[in-house]
Structure 1
Amino acid sequence: MFFPLPEPADGFDTVLVANRGEIARRVIRTLRRLGMRSVAVYSDADADAPHVREADEAVRIGPGAAAQSYLDIGAVVAAAVTSGAQAVHPGYGFLSENVAFARACAEAGIVFIGPGERALEIMGDKIRAKEHVASHGVPTVPGFSAAGMTDAEISASAERAGFPLLVKPSAGGGGKGMQVVRSAAELPEALATARRVASAAFGDDTLLLERLIERPRHIEVQVLADAHGTVVHLGERECTLQRRHQKVIEEAPSPAIDARTRERLGAAACAAAASVDYRGAGTVEFLVAASRPDEFFFIEMNTRLQVEHPVTELVTGFDLVEQQLRIAAGEPLRFSQDDVRLVGHAIEARVYAEAPERGFLPATGEVLVWRGAPGVRTDSAVETGSAVTADYDPMIAKVIAHGSDRVEALARLDEALADTVVLGIDTNIGFLRALVAEDGVQTGDMDTGLIDRMPPYTSGEASAAALDVAAISADLMAATPPAAERRASPLWRAGTGWRSGEAPVARTVAVETADGDVLPVPAPPAGHALDGAIDALDADGWVWVHVDGATHRLRPLGRRAAMQRRLAARERSAAASDPALRAPMPGAVVAVHVADGATVATGDRIVTIEAMKMEHPVLAPHGGVVRVDVAAGEQVRRDQVLAHVSPVDAPAAASDSSHDSTADAHEAPAPTA
């Protein structure tokens, strides 16, 4: 770390952190280092969350739903007033860029640790922001605002602009609602989806259409501006590795930007910030053509701290939260542009609770074991025993590695990911390691479509070491067998391989994998232990094993259960396509795309489910007549039947919406969720 020596900021000594998860914990760390008092807020879903325990005081602000807690301006401001906080740090997301929240803080006599209302208003609207910075000499992507236009007028303007186009909400950020449109035929559905997501996420369905720059790199510049007219930049970050417009891996500096281009980018970013009298930490985002890295276009300005800010901290040595606090307290920046030096290279990977092998569907559950990697910075939202729910974003941690150069930083990141242990819920750690190993990532030859071009991710077969751990667990579980097995002869339960009139044979244990395969595993000798393995047993009898840098979910089976699994697998392989469409995850039905009794074709959208700020369409697995079993607005469980698609020459299937099946859901990843 290169953080300067702590010197308590003046002006206030108690700060309410209006956020949750890893960013709340990260802000609390700096507050503690500066000797300042921290106040956390929490919803009912977060009552036992780490950030609640780590703060000096915590205030409940509502139920689990974000709209009734973390997005409730009145509740957050009231918590600040009652706790005696003189300032509020909004983190990122939630209310961090909400001008009404900043205004409410000011009216209550509370310092909002962020920019002024003018910057929030102008930069919070992509259309207005683009027009504004263009008038100050900042290059922008060609496009047009759809504000006040009918769909017919939008279609006509799109034809004049030319395809492909990118449709995106004017309000908000994070890639939410963005739709790629390559032809006029795709435009109506893209507009409907973008509006629906924008309205739900930001309360504003105004859209902006821009020329789609093929094979772009996403480059952003960190700026700091004080109330005394000084604006500096801290270099750029490469945020090109994205999936569905959501950043996955970020680094600083960018391998594509030379010193001259860095100077030009920094100047453009500072000009954009100065044009709105910016105050605090902010990020100006640009698109850079992969074939022309010296040519860049303004996308937007995020008027807050970014998720990826740690990579800038590690290469510059500045604590950005500390700088936010000092600026909000009225202090001038204590350094100039000439004092900024980039030392080494830093790379950050976002760890999500999701299943990459199932189309990156969000995962929920209890974290049975959490262990961060040694030797690197890990900003985590969870600990052992934490609950991951569907109420919030699925990001649970960030792993950040620093090295003397990019090669060393990449190697350290991969090693750290291998040493990060999360048992009890699915994560994307295996996918992150596969991504880091990609040739384009290793060489720095990247664009925002790199992840989309990768083959579908598979977690790979369980290693012999992981299977051994599951087999050992079978012996431990046999010490307390189910009631039905307790009635059997102790000789048969012993599992020694004894046979009447024969020599003992090698004993095996049946182990079920997460894919449903049942494997015979030689039973390890009594007392056998495996060095380096970390395992935990969940409530459903699955053994989660972390060994050799990978995590596997396995379940030892008794003979009867093993036979049932094998028979079920045979039936599945011989059966025709299942007419029942099941929910790929718990969530809310936000749209039903067909009428009951309609005839659909393979791949048609039937319903769309929203969970963890993402939309997931459920598609028809084959052609036929549809019967819809759910309605828009309904909350559904994972694997709940949503609809049936019966072939036209077959009778409609009987409803089994209450059946708790583990059959694969018929789903496909939303291209722009």
Structure 2
Amino acid sequence: MFETVLVANRGEIACRVIRTLRSMGVRSVAVFSDADAGARHVREADTAVRIGPAPAAESYLSVERLLEAAARTGAQAVHPGYGFLAENAAFARACADAGLVFIGPPADAISLMGDKIRAKETVKAAGVPVVPGSSGAGLTDEQLVEAAREIGMPVLLKPSAGGGGKGMRLVRDEARLAEEIAAARREARASFGDDTLLVERWIDRPRHIEIQVLADAHGNVVHLGERECSLQRRHQKIIEEAPSVLLDEATRAAMGEAAVQAARSCGYRGAGTVEFIVPGGDPSSYYFMEMNTRLQVEHPVTELITGLDLVEWQLRVAAGEPLGFAQEDIRLTGHAVEARICAEDPARGFLPSGGTVLKLREPQGNGVRTDSGLSEGTEVGSLYDPMLSKVIAHGPDRATALRRLRAALAETVTLGVQTNAGFLRRLLAHPAVVSGDMDTGLVEREVDSLVVTDVPEEVYEAAAAVRLDALRPRGKGWTDPFSVPSGWRMGGRHKPVTFELKVQDPVSYSPRGKGTVEEDRVTVVLDGITHTFHRAADWLGRDGDAWHVRDHDPVAASLNRAAHAGADSLTAPMPGTVTVVKVAVGDQVAAGQSLLVVEAMKMEHVISAPHAGTVTELDVTPGTTVAMDQVLAVIAPDEEPAQEEAQS
């Protein structure tokens, strides 16, 4: 076994790997950028090395700096986690050239399975069923159109490189093929530097089932059952579970064997995942989609039903040990479900969020596990992936696991940063999820019913209680009645105390119930119902949801409107970095014209002109870091042309 392992990643997965290294008595080395100098994974490792400034390209994606850190700390092996360089064949080869063990598959396997076209052809030759689609690489637009016609509409356009849903296009109308192919190529080129596409038959109401495999260097390959990953938004998984309610034992065994053959076909070694698309109405008709040549985000659900530590077995296999079990030794016990907690705001269209974690509560125990990279004081910025943590629940059956996970999400508190925890809790209570009647389009169809956009009155009541408490006299002895925020006036008259508050839109609110304010908790009673909130500064949280209740100054807002009479202030929709500025002060712009681009957590948002007019203010340049709602530019509308007097 290795004495020292460098973890070439950050956040939740770095903490997860470090935990197993510690349990095995292996010294851990963390790496960090300037943005992560005080991060949890840095504190939890045995030692840590700075590898560069905040941008990932100059730190976590720098092969040279990672290898230098390994050499300086005496590491014998590198664990890449997931994301960043985890599926980068060049990094795996560079590790080998530097005398380091890459804790993952051989570089050739990474390269082969990273090319979706070659991967499909390879596993098909090994007898694994694949989705009907085009064959061969480098197809022209005309060849893709012809392949789509032969397959039959609808079809799915997919980039050969990359993943995460980028560049994927569902086309139902043959007349739109040329347009969608061009758009898919542009996105693939921008995301992966490669615009090679393939086309596959679209399977309506599909389910996403993946099989976990483990392979050693001695010819042993086993599968550890399946995970259902059908609950997705924008092709991104948000809830995963194991096992799947869709599969019977015979189908599970057949898909597991297909996954083993796929792993053998590319000379795989270590932990990997073979992903299948499955028609919901016919689970026996499963098709290979792709193979992920790394540890998956959702690996904890497999760990909980098998009792195996997948990171430990990654290390053991990389160190040359054979698997300590055969296929017949694998037992699936109970059910496990995982929810991904991300820094995003469902009420604002799931735009990335950010800020400082002011209060943190992460559930553990009683069948619940949280894998996290957070701690109080953590700065969640816009440079890296939005996933913050994962909450996983295990139970003797699916109903118990779902119930435990819903309760755990209700207990999850991350004040200071908006997350999707409340949204996920509601999703897990959806009747289709509870019954197991899911498909990959369910979340998109039901999203409006799962997102809470209206602010409950009790939130304003709790915010008002906090402000009332701050105004109360704290000294002893005589109290000036005019200093007490009761609304009392001479003559027995009362004027209601009113606070100007803002969560989304400004509200004038007069408290009408009773409130009890503690340092980290607020309790209010409205209409005979008691509501309890977690509290930190101006943040309130309950059942996984959170609200940032700010004071609103109507006078300042009025003056600002007067100063920019008729003009529109364009604000940042999310905390991030301005990457593109296409205009200057004094420029004339047309309605809908693209003016700026703000990027955060791998998401770009284009800021467009709301109307024709003139740029009168421009407060940012490329590279400017901006806060949510920060003014970026002001556009004064064109004056209406004077109407000519009617001729008599």
The 1:230–1:239 alpha-carbon spacing in structure 2 relative to 1, beyond 3 Å, is same
Q: Does 1:545 align with 2:540?
A: yes
Separation of aligned partners in 1, 2:280 and 2:422: 27
Shift of 1:364: 1.1
Correspondence for 1:472 among 461, 465, 470: 465
Report if the CA contact (8 A) 1:112-1:328 is conserved: yes
Q: Does 1:614 align with 2:603?
A: yes
What residue in structure 2 maps to residue 388 of structure 1? 380
What residue in structure 2 maps to residue 78 of structure 1? 68
Report if the CA contact (8 A) 2:342-2:386 is conserved: yes
3-state SS, counterpart of residue 454 of structure 1: helix
Separation of aligned partners in 2, 1:38 and 1:600: 55
Q: How far does the alpha carbon of each residue in 1:134-185 deviate from its partner, in whole angstroms, 9 at most, with x for none?
A: 1111111122268434444444444444433222222222223322233355
3-state SS, counterpart of residue 61 of structure 1: strand
Q: Does 1:368 align with 2:358?
A: yes
What residue in structure 1 maps to residue 445 of structure 2? 453
Separation of aligned partners in 1, 2:625 and 2:147: 39
Separation of aligned partners in 2, 1:125 and 1:478: 64
Higher mean C-alpha deviation, range 337-346 or range 496-505: 496-505
Shift of 1:439: 1.4
Report if the CA contact (8 A) 1:145-1:207 is conserved: no
Shift of 1:208: 2.4
Higher mean C-alpha deviation, range 470-479 or range 419-428: 470-479
What residue in structure 2 maps to residue 227 of structure 1? 217
Q: Give the AA of the match of 1:469.
A: A
Report if the CA contact (8 A) 1:62-1:69 is conserved: yes
Separation of aligned partners in 1, 2:74 and 2:28: 10
Separation of aligned partners in 2, 1:108 and 1:68: 20
Separation of aligned partners in 2, 1:404 and 1:496: 54
TM-score, normalization by structure 2: 0.86
Higher mean C-alpha deviation, range 361-370 or range 520-529: 520-529
Separation of aligned partners in 1, 2:635 and 2:20: 53
What residue in structure 2 maps to residue 111 of structure 1? 101
Shift of 1:89: 0.4
Q: How far does the alpha carbon of each residue in 1:295-337 deviate from its partner, in whole angstroms, 9 at most, with x for none?
A: 1110100000000000000011000000100000100000111
3-state SS, counterpart of residue 266 of structure 1: helix
Separation of aligned partners in 2, 1:337 and 1:144: 34
The 1:190–1:530 alpha-carbon spacing in structure 2 relative to 1, beyond 3 Å, is same
What residue in structure 2 maps to residue 534 of structure 1? 534
Separation of aligned partners in 1, 2:280 and 2:589: 45
Shift of 1:463: 4.8
Correspondence for 2:171 among 175, 181, 201: 181
What residue in structure 2 maps to residue 420 of structure 1? 412
The 1:143–1:580 alpha-carbon spacing in structure 2 relative to 1, beyond 3 Å, is farther
3-state SS, counterpart of residue 396 of structure 1: strand
Q: Does 1:409 align with 2:401?
A: yes
The 1:154–1:51 alpha-carbon spacing in structure 2 relative to 1, beyond 3 Å, is same
Shift of 1:592: 7.4
Q: Does 1:310 align with 2:305?
A: no
Q: How far does the alpha carbon of each residue in 1:462-492 deviate from its partner, in whole angstroms, 9 at most, with x for none?
A: 55654443223213443799xxxxxxx9765
What residue in structure 1 maps to residue 322 of structure 2? 332
What residue in structure 2 maps to residue 555 of structure 1? 550
Size of the alignment, in residue pairs?
616
Higher mean C-alpha deviation, range 182-191 or range 396-405: 182-191
The 1:451–1:475 alpha-carbon spacing in structure 2 relative to 1, beyond 3 Å, is same
Report if the CA contact (8 A) 1:355-1:361 is conserved: yes
Shift of 1:427: 0.7
Correspondence for 2:36 among 37, 46, 54: 46
Q: How far does the alpha carbon of each residue in 1:402-439 deviate from its partner, in whole angstroms, 9 at most, with x for none?
A: 11111111111110000000101111112111211111
Q: How far does the alpha carbon of each residue in 1:556-608 deviate from its partner, in whole angstroms, 9 at most, with x for none?
A: 56xxx36777x79999xxx99x8665442223446979xx878667xx97766
Report if the CA contact (8 A) 2:8-2:80 is conserved: yes
Separation of aligned partners in 2, 1:261 and 1:85: 43
3-state SS, counterpart of residue 213 of structure 1: coil
Q: Does 1:141 align with 2:134?
A: no
Correspondence for 2:429 among 424, 432, 437: 437
Higher mean C-alpha deviation, range 212-221 or range 168-177: 168-177
Shift of 1:500: 1.9
Shift of 1:501: 1.9
The 1:442–1:526 alpha-carbon spacing in structure 2 relative to 1, beyond 3 Å, is closer
Q: Give the AA of the match of 2:509.
A: L
Q: Give the AA of the match of 1:274.
A: R
The 1:492–1:203 alpha-carbon spacing in structure 2 relative to 1, beyond 3 Å, is farther
Separation of aligned partners in 2, 1:525 and 1:410: 33
Report if the CA contact (8 A) 2:276-2:288 is conserved: yes
What residue in structure 2 maps to residue 584 of structure 1? 573
3-state SS, counterpart of residue 263 of structure 2: helix
Q: How far does the alpha carbon of each residue in 1:169-215 deviate from its partner, in whole angstroms, 9 at most, with x for none?
A: 22222223322233355445544554444445434332222222211
What residue in structure 2 maps to residue 120 of structure 1? 110
Q: How far does the alpha carbon of each residue in 1:246-268 deviate from its partner, in whole angstroms, 9 at most, with x for none?
A: 00000000111111100010000
Shift of 1:444: 0.6
Shift of 1:290: 1.3
Unaligned ranges ≥5, structure 1: 1-9, 482-488, 538-542, 652-673
Separation of aligned partners in 1, 2:633 and 2:184: 23
The 1:144–1:57 alpha-carbon spacing in structure 2 relative to 1, beyond 3 Å, is same
Shift of 1:625: 7.8
Q: Give the AA of the match of 2:374.
A: V
Separation of aligned partners in 1, 2:179 and 2:599: 17
Report if the CA contact (8 A) 2:374-2:389 is conserved: yes
3-state SS, counterpart of residue 501 of structure 1: helix
The 1:650–1:381 alpha-carbon spacing in structure 2 relative to 1, beyond 3 Å, is farther
Higher mean C-alpha deviation, range 546-555 or range 323-332: 546-555
Report if the CA contact (8 A) 1:146-1:207 is conserved: no
Separation of aligned partners in 1, 2:356 and 2:16: 22
What residue in structure 1 maps to residue 528 of structure 2? none
Correspondence for 1:517 among 507, 510, 513: 507
TM-score, normalization by structure 1: 0.83
Report if the CA contact (8 A) 2:133-2:147 is conserved: no
The 1:190–1:615 alpha-carbon spacing in structure 2 relative to 1, beyond 3 Å, is farther
What fraction of aligned residue pairs are identical, expressed as a percent? 53
Report if the CA contact (8 A) 1:236-1:254 is conserved: yes
Report if the CA contact (8 A) 1:113-1:328 is conserved: yes
Trace 1:159-308 onto structure 2 (pairs within 5 A).
159-184=149-174, 186-187=176-177, 190-308=180-298
Separation of aligned partners in 2, 1:464 and 1:28: 44
What residue in structure 1 maps to residue 13 of structure 2? 23
Separation of aligned partners in 1, 2:489 and 2:610: 49
The 1:190–1:396 alpha-carbon spacing in structure 2 relative to 1, beyond 3 Å, is farther
Report if the CA contact (8 A) 2:278-2:287 is conserved: yes
3-state SS, counterpart of residue 510 of structure 2: strand
Shift of 1:614: 2.4
Shift of 1:502: 2.2
The 1:505–1:142 alpha-carbon spacing in structure 2 relative to 1, beyond 3 Å, is same
What residue in structure 2 maps to residue 55 of structure 1? 45
